[in-house]
A and B are shown apart, each in its own frame.
Chain A
Amino acid sequence: MHEISLVRNIFRTLEEEFPNDMQRIRGIYLKAGLLSNVQPILMQNAFEAVLEDQPKYNQTSLHVEVLPILIQCDLCGQTSKVEQYRFVCKHCGKPSRNVIQGEELLISKVEFD
């Protein structure tokens, strides 16, 4: 993936949201769905690399949580976890592409000093 540009996006998004408080951000929490193709270890490496470039943020740490893929069945309405990339309802066996979790790439929480 393109982790460096994602990390730059994190800072760009935060600069937009918290223009006056960037210096006080200590923790950034990401939720990355399995389908977002984000590898936590590569994100950490990219994060370190961007901090080298932007030392003003080096009090900040990144936490990435990978979320499994969940689908909601169109037929029975139940939610199931997708394993082995088989997009099939575990309750009634109907195939489904109604993904309700797993594609996201979100900043879920920001900790300030």
Chain B
Amino acid sequence: MQKPKSNQASVGSVQCENTTLNLLKVNDFVAKAIRERLPNILVINVCSSPGSGKTTLMQETGRRLRDKLNMAVLVGDPETERDAIRMRDVGINALQIVTGGMCHIEAQMIYQALDHIDLTGTDVLFIENVGNLVCPAAFDLGEDYRVTVLACTEGDDKPKKYPRMFLTSELLIVSKSDLLPYVPFSVEAVTKDARDVNPDIEVLSISSLKGDGMEEWCDWLTERVHAKKEKNTEKVA
């Protein structure tokens, strides 16, 4: 970015055209620093509405992969430490980020949190974002992948209502899939709408409680953990 000289503005009446000061630049700058700080750990930003089953999905993922992968979670919530406690219950290293009523997490909050969590030996770091499909979409947290969780009880019209979230996600997880027979939700329709917005998005149906789709999800994750490590080894070598 070309920096306009402020002394130019101090003579008479001046219009500073094309200053193009990016209001999100601070966030993007910090997000880049996070990527540089975690070259060997897969970072997944998990976004969704409140109550879509993010924490339950994380818990079940922890149970299934605890012998294969070391997992850590940064949990963002407006208040309370509850979700972090649920993670620690299943042996996942967890740190709560209490956003103090804020509707999203910003990169700076993640960067600071990294000083308070021991990630030695960690393979994958989840960022459980604040339950909200609007604001978190605008903030890069230095993640490798963004995963959006959408419960089938929420309705299949969300991709068109919250396009930016789906545009910026690599994977859409339709959660609570054991309830699909009881609700008017079409995985086909949601896939079509999500791909209208983002033709590259992958879609997985998962029931954390019954286990359907969990294996595919765990494979998806494990594959990417290894891919990132390999890429980093190549770079070092």
* B20 engages A97 (CB within 8 Å): no
**Closest-CB distance, B25 to chain A (whole angstroms):** 8
* A87 engages B19 (CB within 8 Å): no
> Within the assembled complex, what's the spacing in Å between the Cα atoms of A109 and B21?
9
**Closest-CB distance, B32 to chain A (whole angstroms):** 17
**Closest-CB distance, B157 to chain A (whole angstroms):** 12
> Within the assembled complex, what's the spacing in Å between the Cα atoms of A14 and B15?
14
* B3 engages A17 (CB within 8 Å): yes
* A97 engages B198 (CB within 8 Å): yes
Tally chain A residues at the interface, Cβ within 8 Å: 37
Interface of B, secondary structure class, is mixed
> Within the assembled complex, what's the spacing in Å between the Cα atoms of A106 and B19?
9
B134 within 8 A of A: yes
B120 within 8 A of A: no
* A87 engages B20 (CB within 8 Å): no
Q: Of B19, B138, B199, which is within 8 A of A37 by CB?
A: B138
Given contacts A37-B135, A105-B24, A106-B22, contact A20 B10 (CB under 8 A): yes
A52 within 8 A of B: no
Q: Of B21, B138, B164, B198, which is within 8 A of A14 by CB?
A: B21
> Within the assembled complex, what's the spacing in Å between the Cα atoms of A48 and B195?
39
Q: Of B13, B19, B23, B200, which is within 8 A of A109 by CB?
A: B19
Q: Of A9, A87, A105, A106, which is within 8 A of B167 by CB?
A: A87
Given contacts A2-B103, A112-B14, contact A95 B195 (CB under 8 A): yes
Contacts of A35 in B (CB 8 A): 163-164, 167
Contacts of A10 in B (CB 8 A): 23
- Which residue of A has the minimal Cβ distance to B106? A5
> Within the assembled complex, what's the spacing in Å between the Cα atoms of A103 and B23?
12
B17 within 8 A of A: yes
Q: Which of B54-105 contact A (CB under 8 A)?
A: 102-104
Q: Which of A1-27 contact B (CB under 8 A)?
A: 1-2, 6, 9-10, 13-14, 17-21, 24
**Closest-CB distance, B171 to chain A (whole angstroms):** 14
A50 within 8 A of B: no
Chain A 90-113: CB-based contact to B (< 8 A → 1; otherwise 0): 000001110100011111111111
Q: Of A85, A104, A109, which is within 8 A of B16 by CB?
A: A109
A86 within 8 A of B: yes
B178 within 8 A of A: no
Other CB < 8 Å A-B pairs besides A95-B195, A105-B22, A110-B9, 12 of them? A1-B134, A2-B102, A17-B6, A20-B7, A36-B138, A37-B137, A87-B199, A99-B167, A106-B20, A107-B23, A111-B15, A111-B16
Could you jot down 25 A-B contacts, CB within 8 Å? A1-B135, A2-B102, A2-B103, A18-B4, A20-B6, A20-B7, A35-B164, A36-B164, A85-B160, A85-B197, A86-B196, A87-B197, A105-B22, A105-B23, A105-B138, A106-B20, A106-B22, A107-B21, A108-B19, A109-B15, A109-B16, A109-B19, A110-B15, A112-B13, A113-B13
